[in-house]
Amino acid sequence: MGMIDTQQKSVRIGNIVFNNNNPFILIGGPCVIESEEHTFYMAREISKITNELNIPFIFKCSFDKANRSSVDSFRGPGIDEGLRILKKVKTELNIPVISDVHTEEQIPKAVEVLDIVQVPAFLCRQTDLLVNIAKYNVVVNVKKGQFLAPWDMQSVIGKIESQGNHNILLTERGVTFGYNNLVSDMRSLVVMKETGYPVVYDGTHSVQLPGGLGCASGGQSEFIPHLCRAAVAVGVSSVFLEIHNNPTEAKCDGPNVLNLKNLKELLKQLKMIDSVVKN
């Protein structure tokens, strides 16, 4: 691998510009839509913090979590109700929104509402899914599979670019390390930056222990701040955080989410590190 290309690509959503050389953007929100009331509460509270700190913000929440550990796990309200709520967040609070799609059938409805369509890590190699999203020329955030080397993302990029779409974000969320464990290799961020595309660091899924509780995933949320600080020190376009006001009651990913009460202090730290690295 050579030196990082200084011609880093920009991906724009309204006034928000993803670029590895720009100040970082927060992608954040609850793992899954639990209710309209809770979704609005979280979007408002996170937005207050990011506005105060002058950090661009994109609200993340899933309408369907199709890759839960158990068939009994809470999946969310589904695509129609979920997109209705996300559209309301987008229009009433004036916040861009991101959510993930799991099937080709979901794409036409999703692109009508979402500012960013997210491809889950387990599906990052699914050619038809990637190509069909790319056809809409929407911004695509692809989570690098836990099983994939960072240089393998070049093939993922090629599938999206084949449709003339260059609105691509690449997310690191840890790599499988034995059973029920993930590890973050910060070299991965550097390798993916060499593609020129904006790189996102997912600080909450990276501390997940997949299937670690038997019929559910565990997590080590105490490591979120440490890994996020390390990633921002490497230099990324965005930090992705699942955030909840009451993690012990969260219907999805509770063990690995960031508590809302800790968000402001972490973002302040990240902003200071980010400014040093990029200046």
pLDDT class for 212, splitting at 50, 70, 90? confident
Answer yes or no: are the C-beta atoms of 180 and 209 closer than 8 Å: yes
Residue type for position 256: N
Domains and CATH numbers, the chain: 11-278 (3.20.20.70)
pLDDT of residue 71: 76
Q: Is 239 helix (H, G, I), strand (E, B) or coil?
A: strand
Least confident of 5-9, 40-44, 168-172, 274-278: 5-9
Pairing of strands 182-183, 175-176: antiparallel
Rounded Cα–Cα distance for residues 143 and 158 (Å): 15
pLDDT in tens, 232-246: 999 999 999 999 999
Residue type for position 127: T
Q: Which of 159, 144, 242 is nearest to 193 (CA)?
A: 144
pLDDT class for 3, splitting at 50, 70, 90? very low
pLDDT of residue 41: 98
DSSP E strand stretches across the chain:
11-13, 16-18, 25-29, 57-60, 97-100, 116-119, 139-143, 168-172, 175-176, 182-183, 199-202, 208-209, 218-219, 238-244, 258-259
pLDDT of residue 210: 87
pLDDT in tens, 61-106: 999 987 756 777 788 999 999 999 999 999 999 999 999 999 999 9
pLDDT in tens, 12-70: 999 999 999 999 999 999 999 999 999 999 999 999 999 999 999 999 999 998 775 67
pLDDT of residue 211: 83
Q: Is 145 helix (H, G, I), strand (E, B) or coil?
A: coil
pLDDT of residue 255: 93
Answer yes or no: are the C-beta atoms of 140 and 165 closer than 8 Å: yes
β-bridge partners, 230: none
Answer yes or no: are the C-beta atoms of 58 and 96 closer than 8 Å: yes
- pLDDT at 2 > cutoff 80: no
Using left for φ > 0, alpha for ψ between -120 and 50, and beta otherwise, residue 164 falls in left
Measured CA to CA in angstroms, residue 42 lies from 26, 34, 84, 206, 255 at distances of 14, 11, 16, 22, 18
pLDDT of residue 1: 42
pLDDT, mean over the chain:
95
